[in-house]
Amino acid sequence: MKTSAPPSSQVLGEGRYLRLLDDGGWEYCTRHSVSGVVVLVALTPARELVLVEQYRPAVRRRCVELPAGLVGDVAGRESESLAAAAHRELAEETGFEAREMVELGAGPIAVGVTDEIVTFFEARGLARVGTGGGDDSEDITVHVVPVATVRGFLAEKLASGLHVDPKIYAGLYLVGGT
Amino acid sequence: MKTSAPPSSQVLGEGRYLRLLDDGGWEYCTRHSVSGVVVLVALTPARELVLVEQYRPAVRRRCVELPAGLVGDVAGRESESLAAAAHRELAEETGFEAREMVELGAGPIAVGVTDEIVTFFEARGLARVGTGGGDDSEDITVHVVPVATVRGFLAEKLASGLHVDPKIYAGLYLVGGT
């Protein structure tokens, strides 16, 4: 789903992961060496939503988010599918395995700043097989929250100074989880 | 709502609008000279959702999105409030004026790439006073779509090759517009 930079664009800066481009006066940021981003709406059989909480340097706070991850960013797995990455990220971050991943939709989430296209999956048939927590570079807390009480849970997190990623609301809309 | 870069961070690149930073190994992009980003969920008295469609260079496609805009990016208006920017952007982009802007929530929308915090507002008491279309640098098509048929409308747009910004789903969730 990722678009590569057009030949007309000028590189304004480059890091190990991100590149800043100017394409005819329009500036945006792109992530090299990935083929997509997956976001997981994972509901347990008891209709609990699986959320993750972690410190995010960009905003210098802990954030509550849907489980998510990059596709094709690991050496030797560059060609993995979106669905395969979805299964891998869900297990790594949350300890849940899904029987099935159903694509809900995809789109650019912050198109004024980045070319990133996120693909939402519904993770079905969940079973807990581990504790999650992320890979070696991550320190993730897992929350399993009844859908009926998600709004209150997130309000408490906001009240205690955390950020809440609005992609949670998008995911709940896509699965009809009001 | 915007966080400024911590003193420890290194500038990897800088354009007229965006800056690429490395903060202790975490890379992200920041927009200088703005104090926030507002996203508008604008429902007419007949329960139609106001959407905008425009070409987005980052993904080289037309995208369907909620009306949105930057806060404090215009010379002489650096200190405008989020709500004032919400009123201004809604009128500029869509030609609708709102009697009232109600804050629905705020959060980082793509926190792996950018420090951008978006604030969702519900625009209430809409009246059409112009044609919209954006400022001199924008070329925006306005869509006014009954909430009950939004899913079908977006599916048609996707089928014709446009992108759909998932913030639309987040906005609909926040106003209970399933």
Of A26, A65, A114, the CB nearest to B29: A114
What is the reported pLDDT for A2? 47
Helix H or strand E segment including B64: strand B61-65
Distance from CA of A50 to the nearest CA of B (A): 17
Residue entry with tokens 């969702």: B120
CA-wise closest residue to B101 among B114, B91, B111, B113: B91
At residue B176, the 3 state secondary structure works out as coil
> What domains lie within chain A, and their CATH numbers?
35-174 (3.90.79.10)
The three-class DSSP label of residue B139 is coil
Whether the CB-CB separation of A44 and A126 falls below 8 Å is answered with yes
Query: Pairing state of beta strands B61-65 and B163-164?
Result: parallel
How far is C-alpha B130 from the geometric centre of its chain's CA atoms?
A: 20
Q: What is the pLDDT of residue B33?
A: 84
Distance from CA of B35 to the nearest CA of A (A): 14
- In this prediction, residue B2 carries a pLDDT of 47
Contact A122, A104 (CB under 8 A): yes
pLDDT in tens, A53-65: 999 999 999 999 9
Helices (H), B18-166: 82-94, 150-159
pTM: 0.94
> Which residues neighbour A104 within 8 Å (Cβ) at sequence distance 6 or greater?
A41, A120, A121, A122, A171, A174, A175
User: CA A20, CA B32: separation in Å to the nearest integer?
Assistant: 14
Reduced to 3 states (helix: H, G, I; strand: E, B; else coil), residue B67 is coil
Determine whether the interchain pair B110/A117 forms a contact, defined as Cβ–Cβ distance below 8 Å. no
Which of the two residues, A76 and A116, has the higher pLDDT score?
Answer: A116
What is the predicted pLDDT for the residue at A5? 58
Mean pLDDT per 10-residue interval, chain B, length 178 residues: 64 96 95 93 97 96 97 86 96 96 97 97 95 81 96 97 98 86
- Interatomic CA distance for residues B27 and B24, integer angstroms: 8
* pLDDT beyond 80 at A148: yes
- Collect all residues of chain B within an 8 Å Cβ-Cβ radius of residue A7: none
Q: Considering only CA atoms, which of A40, A35, A47 is closest in space to residue A4?
A: A35
Summarize pLDDT for A82-123 with one digit per residue, the tens. Answer: 999 999 999 999 999 999 999 999 999 999 999 999 999 999
Q: Which two tokens stand for residue B163?
A: 């992108």
How confident is the model at residue A1, as a pLDDT? 42
Name every chain B residue with its beta carbon within 8 A of the beta carbon of A22. 15
Instruction: Classify strands B100-108 and B68-71 as parallel, antiparallel or unpaired.
Output: unpaired
State whether A173 and B169 contact (CB < 8 Å): yes
Q: Which residue of B has its CA nearest to A120?
A: B166
Q: How confident is the model at residue A7 (pLDDT cuts 50, 70, 90)?
A: low
Q: For the residues A131-149, what does the mean pLDDT come to?
A: 88
Nearest alpha-carbon partner for B42 in B72, B87, B6: B87
Cross-chain CB nearest to A20 (options B15, B117, B171): B15
> Which residues, 6+ apart, have CB-to-CB distance to A72 below 8 Å?
A33, A34, A35, A36, A78, A79, A80, A85
Of B14, B108, B168, the CB nearest to A165: B108
Tell me the shortest Cα–Cα distance from B51 to chain A, in angstroms.
15
HEC secondary structure over chain A: CCCCCCCCCEEEEECCCEEEEEECCEEEEEECCCCEEEEEEEECCCCEEEEEEEEECCCCEEEEECCEEEECCCCCCCCCCHHHHHHHHHHHHHCEECCEEEEEEEEECCCCCECCEEEEEEEECCEECCCCCCCCCCCCEEEEEEHHHHHHHHHHHHHCCCEECCHHHHHHHHCCCC
**Do the chains contact at B166 and A111, CB–CB below 8 Å?**
no
Q: Which residue in A has a C-alpha nearest to residue B118's C-alpha?
A: A166
Which residue in chain A is spatially nearest to B163 when comparing CA positions?
Answer: A107
Q: How open is the CA angle A14-A18-A23, to the nearest 5 degrees?
A: 70
Q: Which residues of A touch B57 (CB under 8 A)?
A: 23-24, 26, 28
Average pLDDT of chain A? 92
